[in-house]
A and B are shown apart, each in its own frame.
Chain A
Amino acid sequence: MRIAALEVEGVRNLAPLVLSPSPRFNVFVGDNGQGKTNLLESIYVAATLRSFRTTRLAEIIQFGAPGARIRARVERGGLTRLYDVTIGPHSRQVRLDGKAPRPVSRYFGDLNVVLFAPEDLHLPRGAPADRRRFLDRAVFNRRGEHLTVVADYDKALRSRNALLREAAAGRRTKGIGDQLAVWDEQVATLGARVIAHRRAYLAELRGPVQAAFDAIARAGKPADVTYASAAPEIAAAADADLPAALRAALAATQARDLARGSTSVGPHRDDLAFGFDGHEAAAVASQGQLRALVLAWKTAEIDLLERVHGEPPILLLDDVSSELDPQRNRYLFEYLAERQGQCFITTTHAGFVLLDRNRVDHQVRDGRIV
């Protein structure tokens, strides 16, 4: 699949732009703060209706502008589709080939983008919440329904927490048992699906990540990625037993949860564990090895998507070279040159992008792309 035409208006500092991207490498060169990430963000929003920078989509609207609009003409397997998103201060309008898709989840599926950002390279030493988001984003690209399940789980969880706080404050105590039971059940069934999706994804990706790591790091020691549930009884449960295990765990922690006004077990407490040589990677691996591990994940993620969708996803590489040492940077571009597919690459120095063929360079200055 590839973006054959892109139109952006009213997004952050970008001047209205019309672009016919190359089917292979599109390189955007510019100093910091010029609008490179904003351009990748526009493409990401067109594909996923979300931003990777903010949960409030309206933030991408240019200061002083009434709204933002992003249009992408996408070619896939001889078919052309028109993706069209308009974002207002309090609204979002989505069109696919000129019509409003119903339900909106119909919009997803044909346009897969994979983002690789410098922040990703800090994940093994970062916060668990960032790793969960990173993992969920990858799972969503693999199976579209994960987005809905995660959103529903999040809502069920926040509902349960609201009820816990009401109960703790002495409000709504009448029939509170029946009410809590209902939200426990929602949290348990939806939470089980979130965990099962994440586990299934890691089962697919684990081997390829290990192999890619060996090739990149040449460390002679194995790396690993696993799903780590905080509660041992949930970690031990088979997929089919997850709802029951979550139900039991919620019941066991209910008294504590009531006192805290929040839910202490569930996928929102789980983690994506990066391992190295049998230990937690963040504790024992060098910075270079940690980055190699994330790079290995990303290449494995891209290969997997290409395998399941039968077509290479579109890659968005945001200034990644500045965070990689020369050797791993070379590995990345050798990998990209060998595979098929369209890439959008930003960088502060054109020389960082080690590609000598099929590339079209643009300069980005003050929101203008030339």
Chain B
Amino acid sequence: MADPVQRLAHELARLPGIGEKTATRLAFHLVRASAEQVRNLAAALVDLVEQTRLCSSCMNVTDDDPCAMCRDTRRDRETLCVVATPSDLVAIDRGGHFSGRYHVLHGLLSPLDGVGPEDLRIAELLRRLGPGDGTSPPVREVIIATSPSVEGEATAMYLARLIKPLGVTVSRIATGLPIGGEIEYSDQATLARALAHRSHL
């Protein structure tokens, strides 16, 4: 392989979900693509590092601080939805069912990977729950939307321990059967959770 192709393939292979084979195929694809397309891609990549930062309020990735979501006055200021990653935020917001604001932790507690509370944006979250400057209403409810994995549960529980004493309601998103999913075809773990987290009618 020619050196630049190899270098690109090497860098691409470090991305999540891309193996060496795919990386090599992508690299050779770009060799054949139009120079303009490749330059646009390169420029987009450079902009990514030069023009993005974390919103000083919600910690989401933004090109503007505070971010558009934090500036949007139509969004409910009293409800915060806490997510692990910016892509989780996108997934939840795409549904359009949540009109409050977000907070991005940038990870989950994971002692096995050496990730502790100080490695996450937890201090920034607690700051948002404080008394504030009186210009905006205080947060009344924090919805923790971490995944139902071991780390996701542990992180949710940890946050609840810190937030509840502040007098803020803490809730956890329910997990269970996917809408449109059929009980017959659901796996046992999902069914067990759905039963354990049943709600009263």
Answer yes or no: A327 CB below 8 A from chain B CBs. no
Residue A152 CB within 8 A of the other chain: yes
Q: What is the CA–CA distance of A156 and B151 in the complex, to the nearest angstrom? A: 8
Q: For chain B residues 73-110, which have a beta carbon within 8 Å of chain A?
A: 109-110
Q: Return the chain A residue nearest B118 by Cβ.
A: A174
Query: B189 is contacted by which of A103, A155, A160, A182 (Cβ under 8 Å)?
Result: A103
User: Which residues of B are found within 8 Å of A91, using beta-carbon distances?
Assistant: 19
A158 to B112, CA, bound (A): 7
Are B158 and A103 in touch, CB under 8 angstroms?
Answer: no
Contact A105 B117 (CB under 8 A): no
Write the A84-119 contact mask toward B (1 if CB under 8 angstroms, else 0). 000000010000000000010110110000000000
Q: Is the CB of B189 within 8 A of A159?
A: no
The interface residues of chain B lying within 8 Å CB-to-CB of A162 are 111-112
A179 to B112, CA, bound (A): 13
Closest to A159 in B: B111
- A178 interfacial contact with B, CB 8 Å: yes
Q: How far is the CA of A190 from the CA of B162 in the complex (A)?
A: 23
A241 interface residue per 8 A CB criterion:
no
- The number of inter-chain residue pairs (CB within 8 angstroms) is 72
A179 interface neighbour in B117, B150, B187, B188, Cβ under 8 Å: B117
Q: Are B185 and A106 in contact (CB under 8 A)?
A: yes
* B residues in contact with A149, CB < 8 Å: 189
- Residue numbers in B under 8 Å from A163 (CB-CB): 111
- Once the chains bind, are A178 and B158 in contact (CB under 8 Å)? yes
Give the one of B111, B151, B162 with max A CB within 10 A.
Answer: B111
Q: Which residues of B contact A144 (CB under 8 A)?
A: 187-189
A275 to chain B: closest CB distance in Å?
31
- Interface size of B by Cβ–Cβ distance < 8 Å? 24
Which residues on the A side are within 8 Å of B149 (C-beta)?
152
**CB–CB A183/B111 < 8 A:** yes
Whole-angstrom distance between the alpha carbons of A179 and B110 in the complex? Answer: 11
A299 to chain B, nearest CB (A): 25
With A166-B111, A185-B157: A179-B116 Cβ-Cβ less than 8 Å: yes
- Chain A residues lying within 8 Å of B185, measured Cβ to Cβ, are 106
> B190 interface residue, CB < 8 Å from A?
yes
Report chain A residues within 8 Å CB of B188.
105, 108-109, 143-145, 148
Q: Mark A304-321, 1 if CB is under 8 A from B, else 0.
A: 000000000000000000
* Residue of A143, A158, A166, A178 with most partner-chain B CB within 10 A: A178
Within 8 A of A (CB), among B109-158: 109-112, 116-118, 149-151, 153-154, 157-158
Chain A 216-251 near chain B by CB (<8 Å), digits 1 or 0: 000000000000000000000000000000000000
B contact residues vs A (CB 8 Å cutoff): 19, 109-112, 116-118, 149-151, 153-154, 157-158, 161-162, 185, 187-192
Q: List 12 A-B contacts (CB under 8 A).
A: A106-B187, A109-B187, A145-B188, A145-B189, A148-B189, A159-B112, A159-B150, A175-B117, A179-B117, A179-B158, A182-B109, A186-B150
The 3 closest A-B CB pairs, nearest first, are: A145-B188, A105-B187, A162-B111
